[in-house]
Structure 1
């Protein structure tokens, strides 16, 4: 039976068939969320308060941290409620808001990571012209473009997804209200929505990832031309954190949005969806702080110590 009217809500099944696993996931997700709040808030504070971090790289990093804070807050509280107890419902309005914001921020992160790759490309390949090319006005413009593309993508794709004729059981086999999960819930023709999702995946995932790979190809060629081993390590060090974040984020996104249609792939995509919704926002600040001496020194200065004299 198909429900042609606006449904009163949905059931987010998650791993409800494995109650013990859900209790473990509750603890993991809660700890990850707290670390996300702590780590990304710290990066925002350091990037704002420490004058030595007032550079394009940390401007984009603070954008990423703010985005990750919003990204997880959109879905994790609801996820924790569903993992803890038998009630796994979400209202139609709640699902709509979650879908819109999640798609908005997810798309923005794809574009923002591409912008950060461009920043690293200029820093390594055009170091003498870096300050001229990556000036403050351009930073604001690139950040605005990333957020605007994310908003536009969400405005375009959310309404057609929510207008689908959903099956009466209203059971979403996922933790979140995402486009692939809602398409699977539909009992009507989803051809248009699948084509729209495929086109969006190309422009929002494949194209940005290709640009990132091209940037790092040029960076690698430039670094290999450096005669000094110390110089090569320093150049690679300026890019390694971003490259790790890109690998974590895009590998999980591709596993969710560019996967074959079969039960095994669906079960696997739930884990990857959980990872990019909860895991990557937690790991991002850890990657940038643990591998970045400037951030660690700024942290010690924030505590009132001489960051330059602290061994990092």
Structure 2
């Protein structure tokens, strides 16, 4: 190619060297398609040669490629040999046939030979070029009758063959094999998880957590009703707490539960004066009085009353477990308690 006008003024040796390095890297990435890789190798060599001529201020740097090769062969320092010029010229002609759209298929041997030519020339003119490894070499294609044969400096044959219907079938089979290999690599890494699984798991987790919180809030909790103690309560048998200290009153329901004593004295007969519709107060001789859902010491505690708390008797009496139970109401909460610890008013 010939560089003229604004294009020639923007070029400098550094940009050409960088372009040559990128094109050679691209050629290594295109090794599965030798025709494209060959175009990249040609571009890398051409940019490296023009960059060297720009550094020595040679006017041939911006001229036709044939003039570039002639100027490189005439250099006094690091010139191209006649054999190298011949190899680059053959690469240039092959590149022109591919660029014109001719149906050519470059064999793996041809690509490997020109890669070795690039590895030999590019470092000489300032471009690092790594040699091709065994894993990077393209797989061999089925050979067809020879249409052209040349030789690079290492005398390895370079084959170029025309595409025909058999070649097209081979190309289709090669592309399909590449797809199968990519699929096998993906499946060997393990099964793919659909994208909707993670959001679904998050939504289900949030629902389960919310359901657990709702169920916990529905569990009844015993409450302590704050009241002022009545004056001059008379002594009465006590219901002692086995391990818990006296309950601290609070304006809100609390979870304090006063356990029943392991052993108590034989309860006295129910005090006279307790009757439905009357009021009574909790004896001051006990730390707290448990009000239960049913007249049984095994029933759930629904309320804990402080000494001196006033209650309304709304049911009873019921004899159970050696005690006389009365149904009382305090602060709108109803339940059963032992009448031994209530004082009539």
Q: TM-score range by the shorter chain?
A: under 0.3
TM-score by length of 1: 0.25
Name whichever structure is richer in strand by fraction: 2
Larger radius of gyration: 2
Specify which structure has the bigger relative contact order, considering alpha-carbon pairs within 8 angstroms and separated by 6 or more residues: 1
